[in-house]
Every structure is written in structure tokens, then in C-alpha cells.
Structure 1
Amino acid sequence: MNNNNLSTKPHYPILDGLRGVAAIIVVTFHLAEPLGTGHLDILVNHGYLAVDFFFLLSGFVIGYAYDDRWNKMTVSSFLKRRVERLQPMVVLGMTLGAIGFYFTDSAIWPDIHTVPLWKMLLVMLIGYTILPIPLSMDIRGWQEMHPLNSVGWSLFFEYIASILYAIGIRKFSNTALSVLVVIAAVALAHLAITSPNGDLSGGWTLNGEHMRIGITRTMYPFFAGLLLSRVAKPTRIKHAFLWCSLLVTLILYMPRIGGADNLWMNGIYESVCIIIVFPLIVYMGASGVIDGTRERKICKFLGDISYPLYLVHYPIVYFYVAWINDNKGITFVQAWPYAVLILTGSIILAYVSLKWYDEPVRKWLKKKWG
């Protein structure tokens, strides 16, 4: 869900802006989630599909930035660039999660105050590596592979995709890559349509079921993005940022399709969105013409905060979830002022983290690693 400013190639500011739009919707999804009773009635019902959109953007940007550089770049140097881009915010997000965990007091996690400090610190240190923890070390009890900052699961799978790209898939011809993408699309559609929940939500637990969901959700969008970066011939589309933002918002805020009696219908909806509509949006974004200085600044701001926002918001959301749990019967009307406050605070924290931490650390790493 990130790009690396390492080239003199033309930049795609609209794609940066769309990443920020999707990141903000992720926050609203997590704020709406505890007010629902399950998969069927969450207000921001398909917000989790933003992760699949991030994977597609990542594949596209990585292909665009690196595909023609392998004659002067090694696997090691590529992975260093990925670590330089991703890990500083992972470390900060896990640290914030540990601080929040230590100060959380809620009936929704009745056993967390029996967790020894050493164990929490060990989970935090493992979290710094983005490697998943086994269920036996789940200190929160939600079966998360990163119980201090749940969203870390998608970074784990993004690393897997990046490693697969670096060690072999980058060498695939467009034909071979197309075959892989078609197989991945079939696997994704099958999972979505036959899922017991009728959706693709999942991937954050270190067990067979969630690992399958995570790999399936990663393989198609990431490598479809890579293929798109190779074969797409962008045109010039006016007002693309506006239209693409509306499409992303419409897809992620779409109410549940089919209800409890026709779960497969929602699976078809999600499959079509990821397999067809998301690549179309990325193509439109790559083809888009920026409408003036103001839109360029908006896209830059949204792109700059997108990754920090994704990594810092969930440690705050844990407190919000605890508040709703400990005050049974809270309605949307009662919760929304706090939700808006958390969203606003998360955006501010993301910007401060970017300027005071992420950019300086990445600059230091880049200098250290040359």
C-alpha cells in the first residue's frame, strides 16, 4: 500500500490520493464495526475490501517502479527498500499498541491485566519484525497474529507478495503472469462465493483458514496490479480523482448484498469489485489528469498520511471498542461524535508521525544503507 520515491519516472499523484481515501474509509469501518452485530449489519459494510485495493495499488506501483531496474538492483537491495519504506511505521504502530494495551481496562478483555510485562514486550518485539505470533501467544484473546496492532496482518502478506515478486515472479513473461493472475482470480472468486460468511473478511489469525484467506486476498490483487503496470497504456481522463474516489467510496460503503439467506450473492459482489472494478479504478487513476494545484495538494496530503494513518489508528480504536463494550446499548447517534474525534485525531497523529518520525527515520535508513 505504498510507493517508493526512487525514480525520475512520472508520478501518479491520483493513485496516492486514492490510497488516502481508502485509508480514511478503513478507519471509519473500524469505528462502525463495534456498533454492528455481525457481518450483515455493519454500517461501513465492505470497508475491509480497502486492504485488497491497497494490495492492487502496491503491485502496480512496485511493478512501475522496479520492473525495469533489475539489471542494477539485487533481491537484497529491493528488500532493503521495502523494509526502509514499511518497517519504521510498523515499529511505531506496535509501540503505540503496546502502550495502549498496558493502559486498557475493559471487560471485553478480562485477562489482559494478568499478562506479564515481559510477555507483552516479547509480543511487541516480534511485532516489530511483522512476523505473526502463534495463538499460544495471543495476549488479547481475539486470535490476532498481531494483538497489539491488528492491522499488521496485511503488512505480513504484503511482504510475502514482495518476496515472491523479487525471487521469481518478476521474471515471469506477461503471458505467464497472466496465467498466474487468472488462477488467483478463480481462487479468490471461489473463496468469496463459498465462504461460510459470504465474504472475504479474514487473514489476521495464524491458522489454516485465515492463512488461506490472507494468501488468496493477496495473490490476485498484488499480481494483477503488477500485470496492469506492464500492459496498461494510460490515456488522459479528466476529473479522474473525483470519479475514482466516488467509486472507491461507493464500493466500500455498499450495504451487504443478499442478506443471510443468499450469502453467495455478497461473494459475487466482492469478487467483481476486486477482480474487475478495482483494476479499472487504478487504470483510471493512472490515466487521470490533475485538476489544478489544489487537487494536487489534496492528493499529496492524502497519499502522505495514508500509510501512517493505517498503522496508527487501530491502537486508538481499541479504546473506542472497549468504551462501547463497557457501555451497553450505545447507539450510532451517541457514538458518532467520539468516532469523528478519533478519526480526526488519527489523521493528526498520522501526519505528526510522518513528519517527526517516519520521514526522518527513512531518510536515516536510506543514508545508512546507501
Structure 2
Amino acid sequence: MNIKPGNELITKPHYPILDGLRGIAAIIVVTFHLTEPLGTGHLDILVNHGYLAVDLFFLLSGFVMGYAYDDRWNKMSVGSFFKRRIVRLQPMVILGMTLGAIGFYFTDSAIWPLIHTVPLWKMLLVLLIGYTILPIPLSLDIRGWQEMHPMNSVGWSLFFEYIANILYAVWIRKFSKTALSILVVIAAIALAHLAITNGDVSGGWTLNVEQVRIGFTRTMYPFFAGLLLSRVAKPAKIKNAFLWCSVLIALILYMPRIGGAQHLWMNGLYESICIIIAFPLIVYIGASGVLQTKSEYKICKFLGDLSYPLYLVHYPLVYFYVAWISNHNGITIIKAWPYALVILIGSVALAYATLKWYDEPVRKWLRKKFA
């Protein structure tokens, strides 16, 4: 049993450390996207493994999903489950896509030549599809990056998150621990094969056969490994878990590329170990952690509350930053870091503002309406 600040007892423990870790990973995602345009490819990005935060998000989601819903199905329908998930996820999806659309015509860069030829009706059509989080076909690619969500690139992971939610609610929630373990082992083998043969797991954001395969492979193992972990783990009491887990996440995501262009398999092996072994271990330690002060709780709560809005609102700002980089050839990290810092701070401020003035009020209203 957990005790929150103020000593209010709750019958089902919450995992504030896991919320805090989600926030840490979200901030690192922003730093990854800010250093990505300064590299020439996967081999030399400064925050080289920042994209693995998405795989950690999937694992955290699976763990929380099992913990929150596994014991509710005797009094909850599939329909009510989907209502809960839509209320939780869709308000920020809609806002994130809207912000991306507002900025679409205000970015001026040679890397997006299509922007200046896109009629308003086509942009609005892509926006409306984006509101549903369904992917667009390549024929509607209005930015030229072959993204399934040109208004807000990170929408691809929400698309696969929804698919995992659907699979869980309709089918996989009924699996025994043995059946779920078999599924997780098969998914782990598929993930390791993808990572080692490709050199990394990066991908999943384009609506074609290869990228959709990557997206499914990246989703299936971590999400359902998280679900399995929620069913079999028996958390202990670990002190300073938030600190140690945060350090581990930072070390993993900031690790430089391994093996170079000559030995791609080495990096793939590293990422396989991180996703298959290290991330579940981090989640277990986080779930076992004990917060000893109110300050620790407040930090974890702030980071957890901020994580999802930050993930959805930062990329519309990153588009402006990427355009600026592309319009100034030869920009180095030395010259770019003040602008990157402004985008990072601005993203955090925008995320907090949208959390308090939009996301929380809208979700509260929707809960009352659906109730």
C-alpha cells in the first residue's frame, strides 16, 4: 500500500516513479529531435539512441495497462475501455495535429518544397485524418518526408499504441501467463532479428509494408512484455529507484552509435539488449521504488503529467527548428545549441500550458459526458 503526501491511504498503489521516468524519456526525445538535423544519418546523431524512448513508452504503457485494467473486466465492457482510452489520448492528439497544421504554412525551407504547392483543402483533409490518428497514404504526403502523419510526425507511435490497446482489449487480455509468455518470446525474437539485421529499430512512421512491419515489431514486444511484467512481477522496496532508473535511461538513450557502418549488427545487438532486457529491468526497479519525500513525489508527478503533452506538442516547434537548420548550411551544435535550448524550454512551457488549460479540463469534461 502506498502513502501519498498528506498520508492519504489508497487501496491500490500508484507508481509515481514510472510516471517520472516517462517524463525523463519524453525530455530526451525532444533533445534527440533537436540534434537529429545536425547529423548526416543514424551513425553520427549526438543523441544517438533517443528514438528508443518510444520502445520504453510502449513497455510502460503495457505495464500500466495490465495493472490498471486486468482486474476490471468483470465489470467493464470493451466499449467502455475504448472510451477511457479515447478520453485519455485523443484530446492531445487533436491539439498536436492542430499545432502542426498552424505551423505548416509558416515554415519556409527547401527541404519541404511541397508545402508551397499544397492547396488548403488538401491540408485540411490531411488534418482531419490526423485527428483520427489513422495514417495517411503516400498519395497524401504533403510535406515530402513520407510520414503517415505530416502534421505531427510523432503521431505514428500513437497509431501503434492504439493497435496494441485494441489487441489487448479484444483478445490478448484473455491470455494466460503461459500464452502471454510465448507471445512475448516470439515478439522478442522478431525484435532482435529486426534490430540485428537492420542495425537498429528506427522506423515505423511511413505507410508502406517495410515501415509498418517495423512499427508492429517495435510495438508487440515492449507493450506485451510490459503487460506480462505487470502480471508476474512482485515489486520489492528499492530506495533511490527514481534516481538510478533515470541515470540508466539517460545512459542508454545518449549512448553513441556502436559498431559504425562496418558492423551494423553490433548496434542492433545493443538495442535488442536494451529493449528486451534493460527496459523491463528499469520498469521493475521503478515499480519497486519507494519515494521518501514529498519533493520526490512532486517531481515525479510533474514529469509524469508533462510527458504526454510534451511528446505531442514539441514536434510542431521542431519543424521550425529543422527549417532553420536546413536554411543555414554548415550549422554546428556550437551555433545551434542556444536555439535548441529555446525550443526545449518552449516545448516544456507549451506542454505545461496545454496540460493545465486544455488537456486536463477537456478530459474532465469528457469523463463527465461519457459517464
Partner of 1:238: 239
Normalization by structure 2: what TM-score? 0.97
Please give the residue correspondences for 1:239-258 in structure 2 after superposition, counting only pairs within 5 Å: 239-258=240-259
Partner of 1:121: 124
Please give the residue correspondences for 1:210-359 in structure 2 after superposition, counting only pairs within 5 Å: 210-359=211-360
Q: Indicate the RMSD between aligned Cα atoms, in angstroms.
A: 0.7
Partner of 2:99: 96
Partner Cα separation in structure 2 for residue 333 and residue 102 of structure 1:
29
Runs of 4+ aligned structure 1 residues displaced above 6 Å come to: none
TM-aligned CA distance change 1:8 to 1:353, over 3 Å: farther
Partner of 1:361: 362
Aligned: 1:206 with 2:188: no
Partner Cα separation in structure 1 for residue 342 and residue 182 of structure 2:
46
Q: What code does the residue aligned with 1:329 have?
A: G
Q: Which runs of 5+ in 1 are unaligned?
A: 1-6
Partner Cα separation in structure 2 for residue 114 and residue 193 of structure 1:
40
User: 1:276-300, CA deviations, whole angstroms, 9 ceiling, x for partnerless residues?
Assistant: 0000000000000113111111100
Which of these residues, 106, 109, 113, is aligned with residue 106 of structure 1? 109
User: 1:99-131, CA deviations, whole angstroms, 9 ceiling, x for partnerless residues?
Assistant: 010211111112211100011011001000000
Please give the residue correspondences for 1:62-77 in structure 2 after superposition, counting only pairs within 5 Å: 62-77=65-80
Partner Cα separation in structure 2 for residue 50 and residue 293 of structure 1:
27
Partner Cα separation in structure 1 for residue 11 and residue 149 of structure 2:
36
Q: What code does the residue aligned with 1:172 have?
A: F
Partner of 2:3: none
User: 1:65-115, CA deviations, whole angstroms, 9 ceiling, x for partnerless residues?
Assistant: 000000000111001111000000000000000001021111111221110
User: 1:33-76, CA deviations, whole angstroms, 9 ceiling, x for partnerless residues?
Assistant: 00000010000000000000000000000000000000000111
Partner of 2:6: none
Tell me the number of residue pairs that the alignment of Structure 1 and Structure 2 aligns.
362
Residue 8 of structure 1, CA deviation: 5.1
Q: What code does the residue aligned with 1:368 have?
A: K
Partner Cα separation in structure 2 for residue 49 and residue 140 of structure 1:
25
Q: State the percentage of identical aligned residues.
A: 82
Partner Cα separation in structure 1 for residue 109 and residue 167 of structure 2:
41
Partner Cα separation in structure 2 for residue 278 and residue 104 of structure 1:
37
Which of these residues, 152, 156, 159, is aligned with residue 153 of structure 1? 156
Q: Which runs of 5+ in 2 are unaligned?
A: 1-9
Partner of 2:5: none
Partner Cα separation in structure 2 for residue 353 and residue 129 of structure 1:
20
Determine helix, strand or coil for the equivalent of 1:111. Answer: helix
More displaced stretch, 173-182 vs 105-114: 105-114
Normalization by structure 1: what TM-score? 0.97
Partner Cα separation in structure 2 for residue 297 and residue 269 of structure 1:
34
Q: What code does the residue aligned with 1:238 have?
A: K
Aligned: 1:143 with 2:142: no
